[in-house]
Structure 1
Amino acid sequence: MQVTPFQKFRRAAGAACLVAALTITGRPAEAETLADALVGAYNHSGLLEQQRALLRAADEDVAAAVSTLKPVLRWTTDLTQGFREAPSQNPFATSGSSNSLTASISLIAEVLVYDFGASSYRIEAAKETVLATRDTLLNVEQQILLRAVSAYMGVIEASEFVALRENNTRLLTQELRAARDRFEVGEVTRTDVALAEAQLANARSGLAAAQGTLLRAREEYRTAVGRDPGRLSGPPALPALGGDIEAAKALALRQHPLLRSAQHQVAAADLLIRSNEAAMSPRITLNGSVGVSEEFGNQNFNNSASIGLGVNQTIYQGGKLSSDVRRSMAQRDAQRANLHVVRYDIEQAVGNAYASFASARAQLEASDRQIRAARIAFRGVREEATLGARTTLDVLDAEQALLDAQSTQVSARASLYVAAYSVLSATGRLTAADLALPVQIYDPAGYYNLVKDAPAKETRQGRQLDRVLRALQKD
């Protein structure tokens, strides 16, 4: 069985987490991985629940369209009080009058025989809309998972920034203490002490800002994943992306859910044009009825039955039929234009994601070299300062350069992971199924298969639908 990129990084993340825990505590310790965050986001997302409900509504549109080809059975009943008064022909006789109370009940059946395909086209258009909504659901799923990746890396990045700022504050506190001691013995001036004090105040301000950023990152994580972040393990191995951008664009144009959704919307619009054109043709229906009526107060009653074939056509309706055709043509043109836009947006998204990935990777590699050089420089400047060859300002500048290099590395690492998963999203591969997440994958065809034939409420399939709907209800 082929191992997906996400399975690889989950295994690597689990192994890395276990090694780190054993190194620190000497025993296994649980830490939340990126895979755990993605599972939480998939199970928690209200947007996914909303889109699934919209998909079920689209499924019901198919059932409603199918029902137009099935027999319509209805009953009617009437209770009529009649009055009659007629003048007598004999001028010496009283006028004749009567009243009666009549009840009747009828059972009427009607079935469409032929409508030149108007109903069939609408059924097919509804099916295309269902397919488009399924792909929209997949795209929402990708957005949810990408947001979870961004939130996970955001917490890690903010936490590392706080750690860097705390360490920077401790170092500057030591530098200030050393500057004061050297001032006491006359080695430096009051200006050096003031510089150290200013730098420490700036570091404390930066620490407060980093702590605020961490709080915001935790809030974003809670919203995206559905729970507070615990102890997060380090980033796992990057997913395999491939370096051929053109091949990635071609893959995206074949399988990205947004593009497939736009294609189905164009197909649905084409079918609605045909349906509205066919609606201008005659309709042939088969009609039948049985009934009984009885007049109260006497023994009169009537039984009746009829069956017939009806043909009708709307000749003129104020121009509405022609307007419906023109409107559906305009909607078709709009969907075609949307397909054009979506196609180029997807290609651009793939190119942007690869560009961000390459930029972050280059920045990360450069920051490694920058940190090594800045660390050597800082240690050297500090040693030279103890010998009087460097000023306090030189030491502070070297410390700031090291902090900047470390901050650049932290940001580049977070950007690299978000860019990598943005590539997966841009090519349509960031779904729970593609990532092999240990979740119950929502079956978009399950509900559709229950309703596609428009079952009545009291049938076996209708009762099964009732049980499904009760199970879907949430408090």
Structure 2
Amino acid sequence: MKLLQRTGALAAVAALSACATPVPAPHVTAQVPPQWQAPLPHHGNQTELANWWRAQNDALLVQLIDAAQAASPNVAAAASRIAQSRAERVAAGAALAPSLDAATSISRANQQSTLPMGTVSQAALQASWEIDLFGANRAARDAAQQRYDSARAGWHDARVSVAAEVANQYYGLRACERLLAVARQDAASRTDTARLTELSAQAGFQSPASLALARASAADGNSRAIAQRAACDVDVKVLAALTAITEPELRRQLASASGNAAAAGAGAAGTDAGAAASAPAIAIAELPASTLNQRPDVFSAERAVSAASADVGTAQAARYPRLTLSGSVGVANFRAGGDNTKTDTWTIGPLSMTLPIFDSGKRSANVEAARARYDSAVSSYRATVRQAVSEVEQALVNLDASAARSSDAQTALQGYRVNFSAVEQRYQGGLASLFELEDARRTRLAAEQSVINLQRERSAAWVALYRAAGGGWSSASTVPNTGTGPAAGTDTANRHGTSALASPQ
């Protein structure tokens, strides 16, 4: 008896000493700079990020992004994780409440006594409840809730990633088409020059070397056009794979959208296919912390810290005593010799307590492992915050640089166009050599390509800023009601916020 008393006392002391170990904080701070180091686009003039796409007025882009999100395996997997996390949250919460089961049994036996052979049938409701003295089940429920919130944010993050990927591919294809138009014009110009040079050489006004140069230039121009056409075909095939739209249908939609855009701009005075359009600004807050609150991945990393903290609490509670209560209520019937004997049965108890005494350090090791996972989650969260700040800063720098270069690139293009026209006229009049003409042609072509590529860089920077700013996500955004597919439960407001982009031209 004394041994049992001492053992119980030691167990109680061990439990109380374990209670003195604090659970790590569920929320931690991350170092965030007080202000952005890069200049804000459009002098910080802000518009709503969720409505940024409306300034584009490109219905095809919205359609392509919606199709890609519906076909994306990443979005589908994220929706599945939501369903799993929701089920785990329900299961964890159910552990806090009593459980009730129905049980029935029937048996026939001969007890070799004064009682005759008989049949015993029973039916009962059995209840059990673990009294959560030290919060193990509450900690498990909290961890499941944090993981569910993280899964919800992950679904939005997957949709924003798909939107950014499709937008980049779409803008890249449009830039490729403009480069193809320039390449075809250049090839036609070189072919015309070769034709004129051949006529001059036949008349004795041009040397065979000049004719060879003209033919080589025409062949080079045609080769560039073919290569550019192949690059555009590859872009179309990539976009078809992203959106799950058949290639013939996608090409029809792309051609229709291009035709509508050309018709809309045909009446504009001084319309230039190479000129950059004005892009709307994204709502970037003055303080980095405000923008980081819009990023699903930062939110998810923060919830991972909270879940890891709760896991530490669960591991610690496993070292404490466990108290359970059970009971049942039912009916029984004994049938023997044609007579039935019925009785009501009920029990309360047992009320049992389990005291962990010795496990070779298993429970203590589980606590240490949970704390290590918590430290890892904290480190990952702070790294995510630093990466988020860096991504926004990089996008802002690229936007500022592309805006500063745009004016110079347009000025250079106009100058090289004027120079080429002048040299071409002099060549046709016999006042300039073919070498001068080809040199002027190369510089003009390089300037044409530079302007288009600069516009492509600016498009990529706008999309990167959209992605870095979280795509208009907020913790109150809706998610699918089921995990059956990526389109389940999507709402119009969220689709407008995360599946469509504005014109980053």
Residues 347-405 of structure 1 show CA distances to partners (whole Å, capped at 9, x for unaligned) of 11112112222232233322211211111221122222234342222212211221111
Map 1:140-289; keep pairs closer than 5 Å: 140-227=158-245, 228=250, 229-230=253-254, 231-232=257-258, 233=261, 237-241=278-282, 247=286, 249-289=288-328
Partner Cα separation in structure 2 for residue 243 and residue 128 of structure 1: 27
Partner of 1:336: 378
* Amino acid corresponding to residue 328 of structure 1 in structure 2: A
Residues 63-107 of structure 1 show CA distances to partners (whole Å, capped at 9, x for unaligned) of 101111222112333444546679xxxxxxxxx998665444433
* Cα gap change, 1:366 to 1:36, in 2 (>3 Å): farther
Please say if 1:307 is aligned against 2:348. Answer: yes
Among 149, 169, 182, the alignment partner of 1:131 is 149
Partner of 2:478: 443
* Cα gap change, 1:242 to 1:123, in 2 (>3 Å): closer
* Cα gap change, 1:212 to 1:442, in 2 (>3 Å): farther
* Cα gap change, 1:255 to 1:242, in 2 (>3 Å): closer
* Amino acid corresponding to residue 76 of structure 1 in structure 2: A
Among 404, 411, 418, the alignment partner of 1:362 is 404
* Amino acid corresponding to residue 183 of structure 1 in structure 2: A
The range that moved more, 61-70 or 364-373, is: 364-373
Partner Cα separation in structure 2 for residue 422 and residue 184 of structure 1: 56
Partner Cα separation in structure 1 for residue 465 and residue 213 of structure 2: 46
The range that moved more, 316-325 or 364-373, is: 316-325
The answer to whether the 8 Å contact 1:101/1:296 transfers is: yes
The range that moved more, 307-316 or 193-202, is: 307-316
Q: Which has the higher contact order (CA 8 A, sep 6+)?
A: 2
The answer to whether the 8 Å contact 1:183/1:190 transfers is: yes
Partner of 2:442: 400
Partner of 2:90: 63
Residues 18-76 of structure 1 show CA distances to partners (whole Å, capped at 9, x for unaligned) of xxxxxxxxxxxxx7454454454455544333312311221221110111122211233
Count residues with an aligned counterpart.
417
Partner Cα separation in structure 1 for residue 318 and residue 398 of structure 2: 52
Residues 415-434 of structure 1 show CA distances to partners (whole Å, capped at 9, x for unaligned) of 10220221122122x23789
The range that moved more, 98-107 or 108-117, is: 98-107
| 2:97 partner SS | coil
| 2:280 partner SS | coil
Partner Cα separation in structure 2 for residue 243 and residue 295 of structure 1: 78
The range that moved more, 296-305 or 405-414, is: 296-305
Partner of 1:90: none
* Cα gap change, 1:252 to 1:5, in 2 (>3 Å): closer
Partner of 1:74: 101
The range that moved more, 31-40 or 71-80, is: 31-40
Partner of 1:115: 133
* Amino acid corresponding to residue 381 of structure 1 in structure 2: V
Partner Cα separation in structure 2 for residue 138 and residue 409 of structure 1: 34
* Amino acid corresponding to residue 395 of structure 2 in structure 1: A
* Amino acid corresponding to residue 51 of structure 1 in structure 2: A
Partner Cα separation in structure 1 for residue 365 and residue 474 of structure 2: 44
Partner Cα separation in structure 2 for residue 313 and residue 142 of structure 1: 49
Please say if 1:290 is aligned against 2:329. Answer: yes
The Cα shift of 1:6 comes to: 6.6
Residues 207-264 of structure 1 show CA distances to partners (whole Å, capped at 9, x for unaligned) of 11111111121123233445424224488641214899xx363433343221121111
* Amino acid corresponding to residue 403 of structure 1 in structure 2: L
Partner Cα separation in structure 1 for residue 111 and residue 140 of structure 2: 51
TM-score (norm 2): 0.73
Partner of 1:321: 363
Segments of structure 1 that go 5 or more residues without pairing to the other structure are 15-30, 87-95, 435-440, 448-464
The answer to whether the 8 Å contact 1:141/1:431 transfers is: no
Residues 272-328 of structure 1 show CA distances to partners (whole Å, capped at 9, x for unaligned) of 111221122222233211344445543464543211251222524554322321221
* Amino acid corresponding to residue 83 of structure 2 in structure 1: R
Partner Cα separation in structure 2 for residue 335 and residue 118 of structure 1: 20
Identity %: 19
| 1:255 partner SS | coil
| 1:280 partner SS | coil
* Cα gap change, 1:5 to 1:262, in 2 (>3 Å): closer
| 1:286 partner SS | strand
Partner Cα separation in structure 2 for residue 433 and residue 122 of structure 1: 26
* Amino acid corresponding to residue 416 of structure 2 in structure 1: A
Partner Cα separation in structure 2 for residue 153 and residue 349 of structure 1: 20
| 1:390 partner SS | coil
The answer to whether the 8 Å contact 2:134/2:320 transfers is: yes
Partner of 1:459: none
